[in-house]
Structure 1
Amino acid sequence: MDRALLALGLLMSLPAAADEGMWTYDAFPVETVNKAHGFTPTQAWLDKVRLGSVRLAGGCSASFVSPDGLVMTNHHCVRGCIEDLSSPKDDLLAKGFQARTPAEERRCPKVEANQLVKMTDVTERMNAATKGLTGAAYNTALKKEMSAVESACATSTDVRCDVVTLFNGGKYHLYEYRRFQDVRLAFAPEFSMAAFGGDPDNFNFPRFGYDVAFLRVWKDDAPAKSPDYLPWAKQGAKDGDLVFVSGHPGGTERKASVAELEFQRDVNLPYTLLMLSELRGKLKEFSSGSPERYRTTRSRLRGVENGLKALRGRHQALADPSLLARKREDEAELRKRVEANATVKAATAGAWEETAKALDTYRRMLPEYRMKEGGDAFSSEFYSLARHLVRIADEQPKPNAERLREYTDAQLPSLRQQLLRGAPIAVELDEAVLAFGLGRLRETLGADDPFVRQVLGTESPESLARSLVRGTKLGDVKTRQALLDGGKAAVEASKDPMLLFARKVDAEARAVRKRYEDSVEAVLKRNGERLAKAHLAVYGTSGYPDATFTLRLNAGQLKGWDENGRPVAALTTFGGAYARHTGKEPFKLPDTWMKAKGKVPDATPLDMATTNDIIGGNSGSPVVDRDGRVVGLVFDGNLHSLGGRYAYVPETNRAVAVHGDGILAALEHVYGATRVVKELRAASEVATPPAR
């Protein structure tokens, strides 16, 4: 039955907007691009751009830009690394960093880079494993088969394998990556320049940020070779030029049911926005206490502010009656077509109703789930380390297919890297955010809730956080190594207060996770798959699946837009950045830029806006031209792009990128980063463009 439905979906109907789509590389619409832009990417072109693209496992995109492992991404994608390499006496986040020699490149403790080398359709295998199953049995069988496929694929720690869900379960693909765990920082500007304009300019345009960083992947203590890289363009992009973005969009819900969108609007987004608003206030108050507190908090505060603005934009999009009205019309039309097809109707019976029922269950469960298992109550780095150690000890003795998904053999290499890198933890900040989370636990579930009483006992959130954070020894890598190597016996024998605390709360966390997975996740997955196959059957594939932090490609143009009758140009310039300088944060240019004033012509492009269809996760994506050469670096979108979670609006949706000319000009004339510039130019000269 499933195979018959998929067979009916072979015809492809393309989206109305030519630049819409986060396309998988195996289904890129070359004819549509040719019709819209007069250019047909060849398979050689697609392969070259795919292999030149990089995923940073923490949630960003990047690209190889030289044959010697040089990787370009955003500064905000490696802020954590820069913080880890900083100290009170050597604040790299404030002053920036550049390595003058390979030996000066500094290893990022927690960064992993992945290069997608192979994609395999495993839909039939997943369907066979779950055939005839529903509820928890369906979910268990699906995860078990995913783990088995990934384990067979991951033949060494240099290989990462993920079974990814596409079209909400209409298809499943196995993505095989080349994994790099030795990733070193080569160049980063000042935080103030990467985030120039701060929260007021965030998700806005014109922009004047230099959100750029360069890493290098190493192998066997030498720079790794990267023969498939994206060379620099010899000519920068101009208004109206065709450009492509290759990156890893994190998540969209364009195929979601109306019930799922209403749940986001009415339940999940309001809950999260309230939590982030309170956390922002806490972080602002904490950071004002001393220069050291400000140093250790500014990056996290920037991330919280970014999340708040992004989620507000999503909520506003869903609060617009016209968006949900269109979604209801689309769903009504789909249901009408399903009713007219007896085979599809039988296969889909009850799917919408079961989805709505599961969401109603989740509505009642969400605060408990988010607090106990989702991490909202225990937002501490020390606690995170403790929980991983506890769960690895419990999960690793089990057969691979029976473990929690994040502890399977395919996932353990990345997790071990996180646990065994010597990145410092800001103790005061960790104590403050843990106290905040424990306080919210009591407020959310109530002082008389049995779990709250178990957690807090007679202590206040502040006193418990203080005793846990100040008493733990988990900041020491050797301690974590001993616990990891010693397994369950070592973990159970440990008297570390944070480890004891993680063990104490883990049973309740696992219990609510199981209830969620059995009564919510399983139902949503199974019925999402049924509805996706129904859509495929009656419409054919819409061409691109919702984003899943997997590699996607799309086409667009450098293009401004009209904002309430006011034209917004597609390019900003160095001169514009100096004009925006006020001398006060967040519009204060750093000293390096003030000293370099006049060295770069004012008309040199700095940032640009394009029609490329992006979302969070695309940060760090390369922007390339028809020759597959770098012309920019995505770092943001405009406010209109936030609604792109649910729909793409070509008139106003824009990606925001640092212009390729601006990247080189600042490297050379502002920062004197001649080593990086020479490497980029040399790589550009020797590169042979793929056939087109």
Structure 2
Amino acid sequence: MNRKHLLLAAIIFPAVMAFGQQYGGMWIPTELNEKEMKDLGMKISAKQIFDPSKPSIKDAVVQFNGGCTAEIISPQGLLLTNHHCGYGQIQKHSSVQNDYLTDGFWAKNMSGELPNPGVTVDFIADIKEVTDQVLAGTKDLDAPAAQALIDKNTERVKATFKLEPWQKVVIRPMYYGNKYYAYVIDTYKDVRLVGAPPSSIGKFGSDTDNWVWPRHTGDFSMFRIYADKNNRPAEYSKDNVPYKPKHFLPVSIKDKNENDFTFVFGFPGRTTEYLPAIAVEKVMTDTDPAMISVREVALKTLDEKMRADAETRIKYASKYASVANYWKKWIGEVEGLKKSDAVGKKKQYEQSLVAKNAQIKPTIDELNRLYTEQAPYALNRAYYSEVIRNAETLTLANLYLNFMQNVEAGKMDEKTKTSFTNRLQSFYKDYDAELDAKVTAKLLALYANKTPKAFLPANFDQFADENKNLTAIENWSKNSVVTGRHALDGATASADINKVFANSAELMKALKNDPIIQLAAGMRETYMATSESKFAPLQDQIDVLQKKFMAQQMETDKDRKFFPDANSTLRVTYGQIKGSNPRDAVYYGYQTHLSGIMEKYVPGDYEFDVPKKLIDLYNTKDYGIYKDKTGDVPVNFTATNHTTGGNSGSPALDANGNLIGLNFDRQWEGTMSDINFDPRFSRNIMVDTKYILFIIDKYADAKWLINEMKVVK
């Protein structure tokens, strides 16, 4: 190595390993860790991020369709979120003849924007802590009585809020029920698709690159919020007008540098940072590996058909991506927990707590006993739930079982029946009975071979051979309501669901004699009797102790600043732009570029193909104002923000509150951050705003959208 390279290494590696943040954090925006944020480089105030009394950044951040996050980037309600968050809507507007998944979609003007019935966006208007009111009178009650009073108190507190017709208030527990917060929510119901790049850009790298760095994915799509003429929420109407936000995010295309401050604002789904060591150990050694093994079989079977048939690819695209997402996440989580010595660190922390407060030891000892007792039931629960979820034929059978139970209990009124048939109709739309027979056959064999006999129905060993299973399922399917092939009054479930349900008595008779229903019923009954009946009471005891353990941690560790686990409520996380050193002798830079896309380019490949126009832009170097100091267009970048599911689509903002990126993933080596954030390995992955605007402007020729934005150069 020459002197120049030695100096470079000396500069880079210490910078990568110097971390100002210790625990990460998903902070309630009314309780930000402002000092640490300022120490790391933030230049705005906490009030500029969240202020219920006047416009602030929170007014530009929404929960998109109940799951992802999105942000407003223009004074006309233009909304930015991930391609994978808008994927279901893009798919619904697609067909073999008009394939927006493959070709992309760009409205030429507002009149060309496509409505999406049922899609909503939620703004958080205000957040109030209501712990004292919700927990009033519960101190000396046992857990069931306390919960009953909490439920009553919650309703009383909700009733004290004066709401507009379009508002609702939701009260959520934090710190395992030690605190409670009320969220006032504005819901907008007219959300239209504005633009989406082709999947070869929006999903570039697809499943191979999912959770992986270096990454080169243009994971974004664009929608617009519409309101009535008074700027209030309204159902879809051609008379609605673009929503005028209280605040929208300026879009920065300034170059990024390592150690620049960044923060992410959004709705993270679920984390469990405060579990005891024993719980983390069971996730790492038992439940994650079980769920991985089930999804691995399902994915391999689906992939074979999707690669060979375009119609299947479109029909199963969204489902496949959903199944693959957490399969790969869990693999990275297991490896990350091992690499970061999560269990060892948890045990050490527990010992330090006990040294300060001896009353914590009985709590930890009892948690160890309960988790150990629960372990075999938790493992079977992981296998059973994943088999039912991923074998769609069994999923359908369980839906019909629910219908049968409601009919027998006299609970199947017309409203419930309509809701049920609508759900089935939607399910059958993207269901391939022949393909799923292969998936179900393989998963039944896995379940038979992996599960102790004590947890299986009698004679279940007959399903240990996947080839025999396939023959049986194909024979059953010829006369099964479940698979949609059984003729019932001249109709099939997959073709005319309402006609099938017209005669409940005849349908009930057919369902009771359906061999697939009988198989699913046997599996469910045995699971409930042998596993769930033991798992649930133990979990109730664990939940009570976890609340106590959380309170004890907060009371004992005065040096630590605590934040509540994610629970799909609005949060702020922050960090710095950084590369990573995930393994010995491996260093990843913090930024990828368009040239990296061309390095991965595989003509005709469904994951790594590149549209011709993007190739032409690369070859001619027609980058406009979107290139960085290297002369290339930046695509993705990483930082130490503590994110999780639900943060998809979240804005990544700079020290001044300008949009610099769109969060869409995490680095595989750090997916254990849901359980154990480690700044050495935990990296969130974002689409660079330069690449987003480059695609909109140069690739899509949709400069009219750029003209709406406030671009910071």
**TM-score, with normalisation over the residues of structure 1?**
0.80
2:93 aligned partner: 85
Give the Cα separation in 2 of the matches to 1:158 and 1:507.
43
Give the Cα separation in 1 of the matches to 2:127 and 2:505.
39
Q: State the 1:350 CA deviation.
A: 4.0
Q: State the 1:26 CA deviation.
A: 1.5
Specify the structure having the higher radius of gyration (Cα): 2
Q: State the 1:249 CA deviation.
A: 2.1
Amino acid of the residue matched to residue 603 of structure 1? Answer: D
Give the Cα separation in 2 of the matches to 1:494 and 1:63.
48
User: Cα distance 1:377–1:609, how it changes in 2: closer, same or farther (>3 A)?
Assistant: closer
User: Cα distance 1:110–1:163, how it changes in 2: closer, same or farther (>3 A)?
Assistant: same
Identity of aligned residues (%): 21
Say which structure, 1 or 2, has more relative contact order (CA 8 Å, 6+ apart): 1
User: Cα distance 1:494–1:397, how it changes in 2: closer, same or farther (>3 A)?
Assistant: closer
Conserved 8 A contact 1:169-1:532? no
Query: What do residues 258-282 of structure 1 show as CA deviations (whole Å, max 9, x unaligned)?
Result: 1111111122111111111111222
Conserved 8 A contact 2:554-2:562? no
- The residue correspondences of 1:432-581 to structure 2 (distance < 5 A) are 433=439, 442-443=448-449, 460-464=472-476, 467=480, 468-471=482-485, 479=498, 497=511, 501=517, 515=533, 518-540=536-558, 542-562=561-581, 564-565=584-585, 567-581=587-601
Conserved 8 A contact 2:290-2:382? no
Q: State the 1:235 CA deviation.
A: 4.1
Equivalent position SS for 2:708 = helix
Amino acid of the residue matched to residue 431 of structure 2? Answer: A
Q: State the 1:284 CA deviation.
A: 2.0
User: Cα distance 1:25–1:130, how it changes in 2: closer, same or farther (>3 A)?
Assistant: same
Give the Cα separation in 1 of the matches to 2:214 and 2:385.
40
Amino acid of the residue matched to residue 648 of structure 1? Answer: F
Amino acid of the residue matched to residue 470 of structure 1? Answer: G
Q: State the 1:667 CA deviation.
A: 0.5
Query: What do residues 366-405 of structure 1 show as CA deviations (whole Å, max 9, x unaligned)?
Result: 355456667736743756865787799899989xxxxxxx
Query: What do residues 626-657 of structure 1 show as CA deviations (whole Å, max 9, x unaligned)?
Result: 33221110112223321322333334432211
Give the Cα separation in 1 of the matches to 2:543 and 2:549.
10
Amino acid of the residue matched to residue 583 of structure 1? Answer: P
Amino acid of the residue matched to residue 283 of structure 1? Answer: L
- The residue correspondences of 1:53-72 to structure 2 (distance < 5 A) are 53-57=61-65, 59-72=67-80
1:290 to 309, 313, 316: 309
User: Cα distance 1:103–1:560, how it changes in 2: closer, same or farther (>3 A)?
Assistant: same
- The residue correspondences of 1:144-543 to structure 2 (distance < 5 A) are 158-218=166-226, 219-220=234-235, 221=237, 222-223=240-241, 225-240=243-258, 241-320=260-339, 322-339=341-358, 345=359, 350-366=362-378, 368-370=380-382, 376=388, 379-380=391-392, 382=396, 424-428=429-433, 433=439, 442-443=448-449, 460-464=472-476, 467=480, 468-471=482-485, 479=498, 497=511, 501=517, 515=533, 518-540=536-558, 542-543=561-562
User: Cα distance 1:134–1:243, how it changes in 2: closer, same or farther (>3 A)?
Assistant: same
2:649 aligned partner: 620
Query: What do residues 127-170 of structure 1 show as CA deviations (whole Å, max 9, x unaligned)?
Result: 34654444656666656766776798797984454432322232
Query: What do residues 200-225 of structure 1 show as CA deviations (whole Å, max 9, x unaligned)?
Result: 43333332211111122343322552
**TM-score, with normalisation over the residues of structure 2?**
0.77
User: Cα distance 1:51–1:491, how it changes in 2: closer, same or farther (>3 A)?
Assistant: farther
Equivalent position SS for 1:176 = strand
Query: What do residues 450-495 of structure 1 show as CA deviations (whole Å, max 9, x unaligned)?
Result: 75789x9999344456621214866689849x98xx9xx9799867
Query: What do residues 538-592 of structure 1 show as CA deviations (whole Å, max 9, x unaligned)?
Result: 1246231222222211222323234544553322222333344242523321233
Amino acid of the residue matched to residue 116 of structure 1? Answer: I
Amino acid of the residue matched to residue 179 of structure 1? Answer: T
Q: State the 1:239 CA deviation.
A: 0.8
User: Cα distance 1:79–1:377, how it changes in 2: closer, same or farther (>3 A)?
Assistant: closer
Unaligned runs of 5+ in 2: 1-18, 227-233, 413-418, 464-468, 487-491
Amino acid of the residue matched to residue 236 of structure 1? Answer: K
Equivalent position SS for 2:707 = helix
Are 1:596 and 2:617 matched, yes or no? yes
Give the Cα separation in 2 of the matches to 1:203 and 1:452.
41
Amino acid of the residue matched to residue 329 of structure 2? Answer: A
Q: State the 1:663 CA deviation.
A: 0.6
Are 1:642 and 2:671 matched, yes or no? yes
Give the Cα separation in 1 of the matches to 2:539 and 2:697.
51
